[in-house]
Amino acid sequence: MTTPLRLGIAGLGTVGTGVVKIVRQKANLLADRAGRPIAISAVSARTRDKDRGVNISAYAWEDDPVALATRDDVDVFVELMGGSDGPAKAATEAALAAGKDVVTANKAMLAHHGQALAEAAESAGAVLRFEAAVAGGIPVVKALTEGLAGNDITRVMGVMNGTCNYILTRMQSAGLPYAEVFEEANQLGYLEADPTLDVGGIDAGHKLSLLAATAFGCQVDFASVELEGIERITIADIRHAADMGYRIKLLGVAQMTGRGLEQRMSPCLVPKNSPLGQLEGGTNMVVLEGDQVEQIVLRGPGAGEGPTASAVMGDVIDIARNCRVCTFGVPAGTLTRATPAKTATPAPYYLRMALEDKPGALAKVATVLGNAGVSIDRMRQYRHADSTAPVLIVTHKTTRDALDEALGAMSRLDVMAGTPVALRIESV
Amino acid sequence: MTTPLRLGIAGLGTVGTGVVKIVRQKANLLADRAGRPIAISAVSARTRDKDRGVNISAYAWEDDPVALATRDDVDVFVELMGGSDGPAKAATEAALAAGKDVVTANKAMLAHHGQALAEAAESAGAVLRFEAAVAGGIPVVKALTEGLAGNDITRVMGVMNGTCNYILTRMQSAGLPYAEVFEEANQLGYLEADPTLDVGGIDAGHKLSLLAATAFGCQVDFASVELEGIERITIADIRHAADMGYRIKLLGVAQMTGRGLEQRMSPCLVPKNSPLGQLEGGTNMVVLEGDQVEQIVLRGPGAGEGPTASAVMGDVIDIARNCRVCTFGVPAGTLTRATPAKTATPAPYYLRMALEDKPGALAKVATVLGNAGVSIDRMRQYRHADSTAPVLIVTHKTTRDALDEALGAMSRLDVMAGTPVALRIESV
């Protein structure tokens, strides 16, 4: 077992550079832990000559990641380029076809092609692992596929986009509106080149679809993730939610129900004293629930050089140790095609609306809710100076269908100023 | 890979029964995940005829766990009897000598004999794993040995005795004294037969010594764990600590320093808004810090049938998948003998004392602290009706030596009523 495990690394951005540093600086530690040396044979990136703060001259250079992926002196192809298709996918496919193991941090690629790639890996006798693709440094894929493998997983939840959590907690703590904090995050370099990936929930949705497949033994189905971003969250909602004892989080929830697989990535209210409610800034949190283990909460950095490189190295060391686990925890051929649930599990909802200051306005709203079968848990009308009264309602548990019926009827009332805001309250 | 992995289970208490249930009820799921069926060949317990809520008649029975451990039809010996020596150790040694893999939940046995048993396992080509021995259902050993294997671990902390955390949080929430809550916990069956194992910090100290060995690649050294129980924590300290923004936890801390390996299991103050500070009731939490991953926090149930059996099954499934990781993450022969640090890393301390109500009393205390080089961060004297004044002091960061010097000098002052309480404030 003293043959080195030889890596070919494609992509030398933040994460790739971090991986190179760890391999160079911790040779003895890694060899002790992995049972064999870990070495880098070759690297590939867009630009060869660039100061990355680490010396790569000892490694062979390839301009073409496909050529890198299929080199004879590469045992594991480490894909850190990103992008759901294009060179990342081509090189990953080439590596697997050549029987190379693959470690990737690419959530978009796996969200779109996870099933095909897992099948390709297995037919070639290769492994394809992706710890770094979900929740950065948190070893959550390992926890699901290995640590909790004796459980039927019942629900997976998480705050998995640090940028969104930064924006929401900063709005709360500084009392600033969305647009201003968004611009701040942009200046700080927290946002993807296409910010919709972050604030539209797409990036986090990719991650959720990977966790759902792993948790429930089904094929990745990103297209069925119900996606809603944080763009419409106002400082008023953040304040009112806080008033009622809640925090607003971009929360991913996946659960297998009698009605099919639910996958939602949307702004939700969670109790402010819960671990999710207390999560501040860019940190990520994943909650795993199983029939045996009850609830496990994992918290850690969701991005950054060290944490993401740590996750990549975890996968690499597994391969060096000959721990070869299927991509989604079970053979790709046994992954089922889960039916997407048409409606979400009933939950309480938070409603915020502005009512015209007319006698009987509140009664009309209450009647409309009652007619739809939605009952009220708590209601607050705030003192106001202008002609519309801000009203908050927390409902008892209701179906989304009943709520939508009520919201439809409300929009036809003559006392409603603007459109009500409705946010799910997730029990955590 | 369709040969079943055959278990021999010794000990059919809560955890053993839980493992039997999982193997019986999840045969298909386990076979999909493990790549092969998992079966039980034989079992052993103190009493054969007892209603355990699960049918064990299909399994061979052994009165003697050593005989069970060495049966030809047993691949993995699952040791769930407990006790640091006696039958548990004899059967584990016999299993390893016979080349069987071993999965155990026995923290006491490993805290005392971990090094010898890890060596025995390796010389026999067997694996010995213990996820269930530390923090119940939380996959923390896996996170340390595998997920974070690319890190130099810098510190490990944790609340790892649910009973102590129950007692401390119940004292806080109900405003009840230690003795009363201790009795309550006893009635609820939360305490070990020898309660010192819980409230004296021994059980949690065992766990800490296993995490320290795993984190820092050193031989288990339970004898060097600085142990202090929660027996002397008063409701006054809990209230005053809360007043100053802290919670009191029985906190384990292990870190490798220039002065050697620090292992402490003692009541500490932590900020009440930190994840550790917010941990209520019997839940466990482990904080792992690494040079790459920064900080990972893991939270979950620390005991109980389902959670502990979940951890046992995680180890069993690893073995079924042929993931064979060294007991403490690196070969036993490379584990170093760490020098125990003689003194703890400097920290701020919380001091509570009662002063005679005489002019200049506070000045004398302040002088004594100053002379020892201990500076004061915050001080509060409370309004009082009797002749002694309650005084709280939070110091700046200081060495324990300087603090002890100050405490010694204080005890010789003529203004001190009783002995001051000193508790470390851990930065988390």
Average pLDDT on B321-333 reads 97
Q: What is the mean pLDDT of chain B?
A: 96
Confidence of residue B181 (pLDDT cuts 50, 70, 90): very high
Contact flag A150-B22 (C-beta cutoff 8 Å): yes
The pLDDT value recorded for residue B172 is: 95
The pLDDT value recorded for residue B229 is: 96
Ranges of beta strands (E only) in B126-245 are 128-129, 153-159, 226-227
* Predicted confidence (pLDDT) at residue B177 exceeds the cutoff of 70: yes
Share of chain B above pLDDT 90, in %: 95
Confidence of residue A192 (pLDDT cuts 50, 70, 90): confident
Query: How is A261-273 classified by DSSP, letter by letter?
Result: EEEEEEEEEEETT
Coil vs helix vs strand at B194: coil
Contact flag A296-B138 (C-beta cutoff 8 Å): yes
CA angle B393, B396, B402 (to 5 degrees): 90
* Predicted confidence (pLDDT) at residue A1 exceeds the cutoff of 70: no
* Set of chain B residues whose Cβ sits within 8 Å of the Cβ of A35: 326, 331
Contact flag A150-B35 (C-beta cutoff 8 Å): no
Q: What is the pLDDT of residues A141-191, one digit of tens each?
A: 999 999 999 999 999 999 999 999 999 999 999 999 999 999 999 999 899
Contact flag A324-B321 (C-beta cutoff 8 Å): yes
* Predicted confidence (pLDDT) at residue B1 exceeds the cutoff of 70: no
User: Best mutation site among A129, A138, A146, A159 for testing chain B: the one with the most B CBs within 10 Å?
Assistant: A146
Q: What is the pLDDT of residues A342-372, one digit of tens each?
A: 989 999 999 999 999 888 999 999 999 999 9
Confidence of residue B59 (pLDDT cuts 50, 70, 90): very high
Distance, CA of B398 to CA of B375 (rounded, Å): 8
Share of chain B above pLDDT 70, in %: 100
Question: Which class in CATH covers the domain with range B349-425?
Answer: alpha beta
**What's the pTM?**
0.96
Residue B391 β-bridge partners: B353, B381
Average pLDDT on B372-394 reads 92
Average pLDDT on A70-99 reads 98
Q: What is the pLDDT of residues A121-148, one digit of tens each?
A: 999 999 999 999 999 999 999 999 999 9
Lowest mean pLDDT among A80-84, A243-247, B78-82, B379-383: B379-383
Q: What is the pLDDT of residues A307-322, one digit of tens each?
A: 999 999 999 999 999 9
Instruction: State the nearest Cα–Cα gap between A392 and chain B, in angstroms.
Output: 28
Instruction: State the nearest Cα–Cα gap between B334 and chain A, in angstroms.
Output: 8
Q: What is the pLDDT of residues B102-156, one digit of tens each?
A: 999 999 999 999 999 999 999 999 999 999 999 999 999 999 999 999 999 999 9
Domain ranges (residues) in chain B: 5-133, 140-301+326-334, 349-425
Confidence of residue A77 (pLDDT cuts 50, 70, 90): very high
> Of A168, A142, A144, which is closest to residue A156 (Cα–Cα)?
A144
C-alpha to C-alpha distances, A18 to A33, A83, A95, nearest whole angstrom: 19, 19, 22
The pLDDT value recorded for residue B34 is: 97
The overall longest dimension of chain A from CA atoms, in Å, is 83
User: Do residues B108 and B117 lie in contact, with contact meaning Cβ atoms separated by under 8 Å?
Assistant: no
The pLDDT value recorded for residue A338 is: 96
Query: Residue A369 is inside which H or E element, if any?
Result: helix A361-371
The pLDDT value recorded for residue B407 is: 97
Q: What radius of gyration do chain B's Cα atoms show? A: 24
Residue type, A308: T
Q: What is the pLDDT of residues B193-243, one digit of tens each?
A: 899 999 999 999 999 999 999 999 999 999 999 999 999 999 999 999 999
Token duo for residue B328: 């403490």
Confidence of residue A387 (pLDDT cuts 50, 70, 90): confident
* Set of chain A residues whose Cβ sits within 8 Å of the Cβ of B331: 32, 35
* Set of chain A residues whose Cβ sits within 8 Å of the Cβ of B304: 294
Average pLDDT on A184-201 reads 92
Instruction: State the nearest Cα–Cα gap between B208 and chain A, in angstroms.
Output: 19
Q: What is the mean pLDDT of chain A?
A: 96
Tell me if B5-133 shares its fold with B140-301+326-334.
no
C-alpha to C-alpha distances, A117 to A206, A315, A319, A328, A340, nearest whole angstrom: 15, 17, 17, 11, 22
Coil vs helix vs strand at B296: strand
Contact flag B310-A131 (C-beta cutoff 8 Å): no
The overall longest dimension of chain B from CA atoms, in Å, is 83
Q: What radius of gyration do chain A's Cα atoms show? A: 24
Architecture of domain A140-300: 2-Layer Sandwich (3.30)
Residue B334 β-bridge partners: none
Query: Residue B371 is inside which H or E element, if any?
Result: helix B361-371
The pLDDT value recorded for residue A383 is: 85
Distance, CA of B250 to CA of B246 (rounded, Å): 13
Terminal Cα-to-Cα distance of chain A (whole angstroms): 46
User: CA B405: distance to chain centroid?
Assistant: 30
Contact flag A143-B139 (C-beta cutoff 8 Å): yes
Instruction: State the nearest Cα–Cα gap between B147 and chain A, in angstroms.
Output: 5
In the set A107, A142, A207, A249, the catalytic residue is A207
For domain B140-301+326-334, give the CATH number: 3.30.360.10
* Predicted confidence (pLDDT) at residue A193 exceeds the cutoff of 90: no
Query: CATH fold of B5-133, please?
Result: Rossmann fold (3.40.50)
The pLDDT value recorded for residue A385 is: 82
User: Do residues B339 and B52 lie in contact, with contact meaning Cβ atoms separated by under 8 Å?
Assistant: no
Active-site residue flag, A207: yes
Size of interface A-B (CB pairs under 8 A): 196
Average pLDDT on B329-349 reads 96
* Predicted confidence (pLDDT) at residue B46 exceeds the cutoff of 70: yes
The pLDDT value recorded for residue B192 is: 86
Active-site residue set of B: 207
User: Do residues A415 and A391 lie in contact, with contact meaning Cβ atoms separated by under 8 Å?
Assistant: no
